[in-house]
Copies of this chain bind each other. A is one copy, B any other.
Amino acid sequence: MSSDITLYWGSGSVPCWRPMICLEEKGLSGYNSKLVSFEKKEHKSDEIMKINPRGQVPTFKHGDVVVNESMAICLYLENTFKNQGTKLLPDDPSQQALVLQRFMETQNIMDKNNALVYYKFRTKQEDWDQGFIAEKSKALAEELPLWEKYLSQGGEGSFIAGKDFTLADAALIPALAYLVRMKLPMKERFPHLASYYERMKDRPSVQSGWPPHWKDTPGYDYLKDV
């Protein structure tokens, strides 16, 4: 079944990592995993553009079905393979509500991270606008305590939306890994988040999407002062 599935992905892309986690959790590890090089602009290749006019990854195909938005791929995988592997969306309405809420809510972390980190990537350090950086740092610094609180309320060993691993964890973990890669002092500032991250990072599904180029490069210290 998994041989019908192809995922094009790029190393270090949070949106790519999320569906990779879902694929593993649903027991679909035999899918065709196609790593594309951003440097060589392989995400703009004819092969990808043909099924994803945005020329982005993730680009996902299951038989004739194409889905390219990361969150839509995660939902599709859970709906289509409901009865195999990890149940990523509970049936109980109130539990399901919490999972959907946290799943979508992770986008706030991404948006606030990207606003700051991409600016630093794209702007020469001598041109950095410190007012802009302070504003974006504040937005991220105000976002993360919400998540710290969610985890502290969940109790020891909990996942982000209850007692089980769900879509919400698949969406959150890569976003946290990115913050760590950018040297956010997570352990000092957000101990519940740091403990959650430590518990999650060696999970096989998470490891399956770990960015290859992260293994031998140090990252950036763009979030060290947040």
Contact = CB atoms under 8 A, between A and B. Distances in A.
A54 B146 contact: yes
Most buried by B among A79, A96, A104, A105: A104
A71 B53 CA distance: 23
A96 B69 contact: no
Q: Determine the main DSSP class of A at the interface with B.
A: helix
A97 B146 contact: no
Contacts of A144: none
Give the contact-size bracket for chain A: 20 to 34
Interface string A68-80: 1101100110011
A100 interface: yes
Interface stretch (A35-43, A59-67, A186-194): A59-67
A125 interface: no
A101 B100 CA distance: 16
5 contacts: A65-B94, A67-B100, A71-B104, A72-B103, A75-B75
